[in-house]
Amino acid sequence: MGKVLKEWIFTTDHKRVGILYLIGSIAAFCLAGIMALLIRAELTYIGPTITNDPNTYNVWLYFHGAAMILGFQIPALTGFMANYFIPLMIGAKDVAFPRLNAFSVWLFFMGIVLALLTFVVPDPPDVMWTGYPPYSVITTGNTALYTFTVLLIGFASIIAGVNFLTTISFMRAPGMGWNKLNIFVWATGAGFIIQLIFVPVLGTAVLLIAFDKYLGTNFFDTTTGGDVLTYQNLFWFYSHPAVYVIFLPFMAIIFEIVATFSKNMVFNYKVVVYGGIFGIVLVSGEVWVHHLFVTGMPDWIRIGQMVTTLLISVPVGLMVIGLVGTMYKGAIDLSKTPMQYAMGFIFLFLIGGLTGIPNAIPSLDLHISDTYFIVGHFHYVMAVAGTFAIFAGVYYIFPKMSGRMYNETIGKIGFWLSFIGTNVAFWTQMEMGLEGMPRRYYDYAHLPQFESDQMVMTVGSILIGIGFILALGNWIHGAIWGEKAPDNPWGSNSLEWTTTTPPPHGNWPEIPTVDADWHPYNYKKS
Amino acid sequence: MFKGFDSKRRGILSTFLGFGILLPQTSASIAFETSQSTTINDPAPGFDELWHTVMVDISVMGVIFAAITIYFMFKYRRKHPDQVGDAPKMSAAQAVGWALIPAFIFMADDFYLAAKGWQLWNKFREVPADRMEVKLESGMYSWDYTYPNGVRTQNKLRVPAGKPIMLRMTSRDTIHSHYLAKYRVKEDSMPGRVTYLWFYPKEEDIGDRDNLVTCTEYCGVMHSYMVGRVEVMPAVEFMRWYKQEESKLSQNNNNAEDNSTATATNIILEQEV
Amino acid sequence: MAEDTATHEDHWDTSSAPLTISVGILFLCLAFIFYFVYDSGMAAIISLGIGTPLIIGGIVIWVNEAIGEEGEGLSVPSMGWFILAEAMIFMSLFANYWLQRLMTPDWPPAGTPAEMPVLIPVIMTILLVTSSFTIHIGEDKLANDDKAGFIKWLVISILLGTAFLGMSLFEWVHLVGIGFDVTTNVYSTSFYSITGFHASHVLVGLCIFIAILIPALSNRTNIGLVKTGALYWHFVDIIWFFVVSQVYFW
Ligand code: HEA
Ligand code: HEA
Ligand code: CUA
Ligand SMILES: [Cu+2]
């Protein structure tokens, strides 16, 4: 027992580090999900519903946003999935620096611990996940907790980035050229490049807030010549690219799943990689001002970044074509849960991505900015499409990871409940936003026309919640009681399925070699 | 309440669902047509038009992709367990074509939308010369307006119908955002900077109890209660109120400087009446 | 998960260093929070007292484990990636500084002393540049298997770096003494945060050198580690040129 525990908490093996990441991020997801339900309960009726104190609501919302993005999605994608998949996909025994890898996961856990302190400290942080000054500087809430949560998780992903980029560059199996990498490896690598360039900027931004608040510096203090918008620029300079750090891996895992369940070559592989993925990396740094369309930035920059933002639809569109095209003349098996999630993902992502288009046009954003329309947009694209992708990925790798099978029926019921719930909840939310419901409202007493819509939303979110809980329960049940899984249950061609299930330490007794006509998506050779 | 949206409430987004394409030109641009007013280039109806265009545009995109996905999903079902995909190998020319042609189509669409958006943006930015400028200072948690003649109001913006109103905004503490849903416009107000927005109250807005000012930037505990109201008044009535307040003001402080600025603006306003 | 099926596998690599250091860092954050948010000096000192030994202990374990390993040959290219990230920190600080400087009508803002130090930064520049050369010489010595020469030049570099830090500190104390501290105005804010950030990097570089020096004294070295440390040091050196030209002499 002691040995087992030691081999887990002191582990440097990439698969175990990955599972630790998964545990941490799912924990964050559950808590943030409970916050979401509390938020929904509070908003169901006009006036105070389950709490009389607006600040309590604000703390929930702070935790919900920060934990979902920083504690759940980024770690689940660039922590868990990157760790579990990348070394297996490129045929490496481990990552380049196993100890650094373990350091990264534990820093992430310390960030989670700090985030959890929100619920026990007096004056918890109430700065929302964006932490704009001057409010974050003058509030009585504990902004330092926000700063350190962001810093620790940010630093964790910087060192993960260093680690994985080195791994991908130097540790590919013999014979595996660049054009034989899985889409997931490409996309996550690109995501890490984005992390390395932009996370430090976020780190600086939140640190400057702490300096202003606790050391008395003047960065954002207008009375001594500081400027409040500097922070917003620094913050979004990271946080817009961050949505692509989320987007690239989650889109890529859907690529893996669709290719596997269609047993088909990825459509236009090179264009997806060099046009799509790297197109996004290229444009991602030039669009942050679309979050500042209503802050009075100079006109030229608003118009300029409208154009760059709209142009993001080009690389993203190429990726969507690649994704849908992969199904062309495939042998599609829709009966498995991961594939169902993947198909659901496509529709949700289309809705979410396309509603980004009106946001990107400043003259339309003047009306919808900071309303529920925005909240609806990003819940479609990130909160549910992203979560669906993560869930699809977990279901997909589940047999390999745990050595057991999950229950297909429960998996599918869970999928359908959350798919329906999502559309009920977040479509309604966009409608409300269009009609002028501002976000971050504890109460909407003067906007009584929205009460019925808010109720509909609550019903929808309960459906989503049940669906998600079924999925979580399914995994726990499967990991303990499921039947034994074969080595390659989906018949995939990719390298990660060639090891035994579950993979031993070191992954393969002998590092695999790939030959000239091998390709992770080449099913036809036979 | 939101007159612009009432009639087509569920219409506008369901356009996006794809149904709307079947009945082109719903009531999108009808809402504001009654305001056949002079030369004021009111952006609000332009918003509704552009919104409609964008919705149709992205619906077309979305429906095409969704339809193809659904078609593939059923067309290429796996027939027997050992079947593998049969995608034809692409030649280099095909691969490049599948990159460039869609890329240019998407780009064309993007530039089309960008051009439309820019056009409307200019309307939002070209404030009519014939306007009334009101100063706004926001604070936790109120909207404090100061009229050209020095009259101050709180959380209530009285404006004459038919006169474009421009707000010059700043804040004394945190960032707030002055949101006029009815006029489809908002802009942040923050310490250390002056921002502006303008809108065009019309005759039919008179007496609209739901013409609200809401705060759309998180600014503290009472953020959701930071609400004001725009009261559109007939021009004559507004002038009466305006004068009355002004004389109250000058009774309170018989300051010569105050009066001189006040009369200057009176002249402008009187010309209009 | 699925421990049973992995029975044929008897051994998983472990290291206690990562967890130890992470917990240490957590306690440093707590110390800051106790001191600045909850005004509790006592709790802050206790947290520091727990955190610092954990971090140092963790580093010692880490270095001990890593130094014996053959060829962490990948650490040099990976340092390149890390430097990219570090450079972005300085980029954002400079961007902030430039923007503020260009937006402020009269510069330097009120409160800035009439004469900012000139001589000290020049001397500091010379020290730091020299140390970049000395560490390079040390690296060469090591490559030629001259352990004693390597240690000599490493110690010289450490001394130069320490002198640099000392002068920084001296200068800050002097400036604060004449009423120019972090709260004075936007310039002081940028001045201290940029020079401070840079100094903290010098400090980290020195720590790396010391972590290399101690095992080297008992004849344990790892060329990969030395090269990586030296690369980091060169980076810190290059950043200093920006600091000195932008913050002192612009
Ligand atoms: C994973 C997360 C994610 C992703 C991928 C995106 C993707 C996009 N987002 Fe979103 N966004 C968020 C998460 C995300 N967003 C979050 C969290 C916020 C709010 C933050 C906050 O304030 O708290 C936000 C806010 C936000 C705003 C700010 C609104 C405001 O506050 O006023 C804007 C404005 O431009 C925007 C635009 C876009 C655009 C244009 C895309 C594009 O990348 C979408 C591209 C995709 C498509 C377009 C669909 C597929 C393409 C085709 C089918 C091709 C053909 C299409 C065309 C030619 C149009 N987003
Ligand atoms: C990935 C990100 C993510 C995800 C997945 C979600 C998921 C959800 N979000 Fe969230 N949301 C954000 C990111 C996300 N959100 C962000 C960034 C903001 C902005 C914050 C800000 O303004 O600063 C926001 C804001 C936000 C608001 C706006 C509030 C406001 O502006 O006033 C609302 C309102 O309805 C909401 C609702 C929901 C709902 C109903 C879900 C549902 O999908 C959640 C469903 C999940 C569950 C219900 C959990 C199920 C699991 C359990 C219950 C665990 C059970 C326990 C054990 C088994 C131990 N969210
Ligand atoms: Cu003022 Cu929100
Ligand atoms: Cu964005």
Rounded to 5 degrees, what are φ and ψ at B262?
-65, -45
Query: pLDDT tens digit string along A152-202?
Result: 999 999 999 999 999 998 888 888 888 889 999 999 999 999 999 999 999
Are B212 and B171 contained in the same domain? yes
User: How confident is the model over B189-203, as a mean pLDDT?
Assistant: 91
Same structural domain, B162 and B235: yes
Q: Residue B189 sits in a domain of what CATH number?
A: 2.60.40.420
| Cα B220 to ligand 3 centre (Å) | 7
B241 and B139: one domain? yes
Could you say which residues from 33 to 92 on chain B have a Cβ atom under 8 Å away from some Cβ of chain A? Answer: 43, 46-47, 50-51, 54-55, 57-58, 61-62, 65-66, 68-69, 72-73, 76-79, 83-88, 90
Residues C123 and C181 in one domain: yes
In a domain, B30, yes or no: no
Nearest to A440 by CA among A127, A222, A155, A27: A127
Burial class of B101 by CB neighbour count within 10 A (0 to 12, 13 to 18, 19+): exposed
Chains linked to B by 3 or more Cβ pairs within 8 Å: A
**C96 and C179 share a domain?**
yes
- In chain C, which residues have their Cβ closer than 8 Å to the Cβ of A161? 81, 85
User: Confidence band (pLDDT; 50, 70, 90) for B5?
Assistant: very low
Residues of B in contact with A444 (CB under 8 A): 224
- Give the integer Cα–Cα distance in Å for A437 and B205: 20
Task: Give the least confident one: A218-227, B33-42, B69-78, B178-187.
Answer: B33-42
Question: Which of C67, C87, C104 lies at the terminal end of a domain, its last residue?
Answer: C67
B167 with B222, same domain: the answer is yes
Distance B171 CA to ligand 3 centre (A): 10
Q: Burial, C71: exposed, middle or buried (Cβ in 10 Å; 0-12, 13-18, 19+)?
A: exposed
Average pLDDT over residues A16-39: 94
* Cβ distance of A354 and B188 shorter than 8 Å: no
Q: Which ligand is nearest to the CA of A308?
A: 1
| Percent of chain A's residues with pLDDT above 90 | 67
- Closest to C224 (Cα-Cα) out of A389, A324, A400, A96: A96
- Altogether, the residues listed in chain A come to a count of 526
Give the β-pairing of B185-189 and B176-180. Answer: antiparallel
Q: Which two tokens stand for residue B60?
A: 């077309």
Q: Is the domain of B198 the same as that of B150? A: yes
SS (H, E, C) chain B: CCHHHHCCHHHHHHHHHCHHHHCCCCHHHCCCCCCCCCCCCCHHHHHHHHHHHHHHHHHHHHHHHHHHHHHHHHHCECCCCCCCCCCCCCCHHHHHHHHHHHHHHHHHHHHHHHHHHHHHHHHHHCCCCCCEEEEEEEECCEEEEECCCCCEEECEEEEECCCCEEEEEEECCCCEEEEEHHHCEEEEECCCCCEEEEECCCHHHCCCCCCEEEECCCCCCCHHHCCEEEEEECHHHHHHHHHHHHHHHHHHCCCHHHHHHHHHHHHHHHHHC
B177 close to A135: Cβ distance less than 8 angstroms: no
Q: Are residues B150 and B191 in the same domain?
A: yes
Same domain, yes or no, for C116 and C226? yes
Q: For residue C92, is it within any domain?
A: yes
Residue positions counted in chain C: 250
pLDDT tens across A225-267, in order? 788 888 999 999 999 999 999 999 999 999 999 999 999 899 8
Q: With respect to residue C6, please indicate whether it lies within any of the assigned structural domains.
A: no
Instruction: Please give the average per-residue pLDDT across B254-272, as a whole number.
Output: 43
Q: What is the pLDDT of residues A415-454, one digit of tens each?
A: 999 999 999 999 999 999 999 999 999 999 889 899 999 9
Q: Quick check: is C212 in a domain?
A: yes
Please tell me the distance from the alpha carbon of residue B231 to that of residue A286, in angstroms, as a whole number: 41
pLDDT classification of C108: cutoffs 50, 70, 90: confident
Q: How confident is the model at residue A526 (pLDDT cuts 50, 70, 90)?
A: low
Give Cα B124 distance to the centre of its chain.
9
The pLDDT assigned to A525 comes to 67
Q: Per-residue pLDDT for B32 more than 90?
A: no
- Res A374: pLDDT: 94
ipTM score of complex: 0.90
Residues 6+ apart with CB under 8 A from A501: A399, A400, A403, A485, A486, A487, C5
Q: Distance between CA atoms of A305 and A288, rounded to whole angstroms?
A: 8
Q: pLDDT digit string (tens) for B99-116?
A: 999 999 999 999 999 999
Q: Name the β-bridge partners of B186.
A: B179
- To 5 degrees, how large is the angle CA B50–CA B54–CA B60? 150
Q: Residue A4, Cβ neighbours under 10 Å: how many?
A: 10
Do C174 and C227 fall within a single domain? Answer: yes
| Mean pLDDT computed over A293-303 | 89
Q: What is the pLDDT of residues A466-504, one digit of tens each?
A: 999 999 999 999 999 988 888 888 888 888 888 888 888
Assess whether pLDDT exceeds 90 at residue A3.
no
| Token pair belonging to B9 | 């409430």
What is the per-residue pLDDT across B221-230, written as a single tens digit (0 to 9) for each? 999 999 999 9
Q: What is the pLDDT of residue A1?
A: 66
Q: Is residue C225 part of a domain?
A: yes
In the stretch 183-212 of chain C, residues with CB closer than 8 A to chain A read 183, 185-186, 188-189, 192-193
Whether residue C108 is preceded by a cis peptide bond, meaning omega within 30 degrees of 0, is yes
Place of tokens 């003649």: B149
The answer, for C93 touching chain A at a CB cutoff of 8 Å, is yes
Q: Where residue A134 falls among pLDDT bands split at 50, 70, 90?
A: confident
Flag whether residue C123 sits within 8 Å of chain A, measured between CB atoms. Answer: no
Q: List the beta bridge partners of residue B179.
A: B186, B214
Q: Which residue has the higher pLDDT, C87 or B258?
A: C87
One domain, residues C121 and C231:
yes
Contact A370, A290 (CB under 8 A): no
Q: Which residue of A has its CA nearest to B220?
A: A135
Q: Cβ distance A204 to C89 under 8 Å?
A: yes
Residues B222-249: what's their mean pLDDT? Answer: 90
Residue A107 has pLDDT above 90, yes or no: yes
Strands (E), C72-147: none
Residue B166 belongs to a domain? yes
Residue A218's pLDDT is what? 84
In Å, how far are A125, A129, A238 from A154, measured between CA atoms?
18, 14, 11
Give A226's contacts in chain C (Cβ within 8 Å).
Answer: 100, 186, 189
Q: Give the DSSP letter string of A55-103.
A: HHHHHHHHHHHHIIIIIIIHIIIIIIIHHHHHHHHHT-SS-S-HHHHHH
Average pLDDT rounded to a whole number, residues C203-210:
90
Q: Which residue has the tokens 């240690």?
A: C151
Work out the pLDDT band at B267, boundaries 50, 70, 90: very low
Look at residue B6 and tell me if it is in a domain: no
pLDDT in tens, A374-384: 999 999 999 99
Percentage, residues of chain C above pLDDT 70: 93
Give C243: exposed, middle or buried? Use CB within 10 Å, 0-12, 13-18, 19+: buried
> Would you say A206 and A146 are in contact if contact means Cβ atoms under 8 Å apart?
yes
A444 vs B259 pLDDT, higher one: A444
Query: Between these two residues, C72 and B238, which has the higher pLDDT value?
Result: B238
Can the peptide bond before residue A298 be classed as cis, meaning omega within 30 degrees of 0?
no
Q: Do C115 and C46 sit in the same domain of this protein?
A: no
Whole-number Cα distances in Å, A472 to A80, A337, A415 = 16, 13, 11
* Helix/strand/coil for C14: strand
Question: How sure is the predictor about C78, in pLDDT bands with cuts at 50, 70 and 90?
Answer: confident
Shared domain check, C42 and C24: yes
Nearest Cα of chain B lies from the Cα of A420 at a distance, in angstroms, of: 15
Residue with the smallest CA separation from ligand 2 atom 15 is A383
Identify whether residues C59 and C170 lie together within a single domain. no
* B70 and B174 together in one domain: no
Task: Measure Cα distances from B1 to B46, B189, B208, B211, B215 in Å.
Answer: 19, 26, 7, 8, 18
Average pLDDT, chain B: 79
A275: closest CA among B36, B226, B98?
A: B98
Candidates A500, A457, A504, A447; CA nearest to A42 is A457
Look up residue C9 and give its amino acid: E
pLDDT, residue B199, reads 92
Which of the listed residues C67, C99, C129 is the one where a domain comes to its end?
C67
Q: Please tell me which residue of chain C has the smallest CA distance to A22.
A: C1
pLDDT in tens, C39-63: 888 999 999 999 999 999 998 888 8
> Is residue B255 predicted with pLDDT exceeding 60?
no
| pLDDT at residue B271 is higher than 50 | no
Within this chain, do residues B107 and B135 fall inside the same structural domain, yes or no?
Answer: no
Ordered domains of chain A (ranges, CATH): 2-497 (1.20.210.10)
Residue with tokens 């504001």: B32
User: What are the chain B neighbours of A264 within 8 Å (beta carbons)?
Assistant: 84-87
In a domain, residue C2? The reply is no
User: Is the pLDDT assigned to residue C71 strictly greater than 80?
Assistant: no
User: Buried b / exposed e across A455-481, counting CB within 10 Å, b at 16+?
Assistant: ebbbebbbbbbebbebbbebbeebbee
Distance from CA of A307 to the nearest CA of B (A): 6
Ligand 2 site-directed mutation target among A26, A375, A415, most atoms within 8 Å of CB: A375
* Minimum-distance CB partner of A317 among B85, B106, B123: B106
More confident residue, A337 or B258: A337
C64 touches chain A (CB under 8 A): no
Instruction: Please tell me which of the candidates B51, B102, B123 has its beta carbon nearest to residue A318.
Output: B102
In chain A, how many H helices and how many E strands? Answer: 21, 0
Pick the residue of A287, A293, A366 with the most B CBs within 10 A to test the interface with B by mutation.
Answer: A366
Q: For residues C223 and C142, is the Cβ–Cβ distance under 8 A?
A: yes
Quick check: B182 pLDDT over 50? yes
Check whether residue B112 and residue B149 sit in a common domain: no
In this predicted structure, what is the pLDDT of residue C5? 38
Mark whether C233 and C145 lie in a shared domain: yes
Higher pLDDT: C139 or A23? It is: A23
| pLDDT for B265 beyond 90 | no
Count up the domains in chain C and report the number: 2
Evaluate whether residue C9 is within a structural domain. no
Let me know if residue C45 belongs to a domain. Answer: yes
Number of domains in chain B: 2
Contact between chains at B13 and A427 (C-beta distance less than 8 A): yes
By three-state DSSP, how is residue A349 classified?
helix
Domain span at B121: 44-78+92-126
Which chain B residues are Cβ-neighbours of A434 within 8 angstroms? Answer: 5, 12-13
Evaluate whether residue B228 is within a structural domain: yes
Are residue B198 and residue B217 in the same domain, yes or no?
yes
Per-residue pLDDT, averaged over C136-150, amounts to 86
Q: Helices A408-434 & A451-481, crossing angle to 10 degrees? A: 160
Residues C26 and C90 in one domain: no
Span B156-166, pLDDT tens digits: 999 999 889 99
**Are the Cβ atoms of B181 and A262 closer than 8 angstroms?**
no
Domain boundary among C42, C67, C92: C67
| Same-domain check for residues B177 and B222 | yes
Residue B4 pLDDT greater than 60, yes or no: no
CB of C102 within 8 Å of a chain A CB? The answer is no
Where residue C214 falls among pLDDT bands split at 50, 70, 90?
Answer: confident
Same domain as B240, residue B135: yes
Domain span at residue C89 reads 73-248
- Whether residues C62 and C94 share a domain: the answer is no
User: B146 in a domain, yes or no?
Assistant: yes
For residue B273, tell me if it sits in a domain: no
Q: Does the pLDDT value for residue B273 go beyond 50?
A: no
Percent of chain A, pLDDT > 70? 99
Nearest to B253 by CA among B107, B162, B149: B149
Predicted pLDDT at B38: 53
- My answer on whether omega of the bond before B183 falls inside 30° of 0, hence cis, is no
Most confident of A297-301, A486-490, B54-58: B54-58
CA angle A274, A513, A163 (to 5 degrees): 55
Query: How far is A151 from B231, CA to CA, in rounded Å?
Result: 47
Question: Quick check: A307 and A379 in contact, CB under 8 A?
Answer: no
Residue C101 located in a structural domain: yes
pLDDT band at C176 (very low <50, low <70, confident <90, very high): confident
Whether residue C139 sits in one domain with residue C154: yes
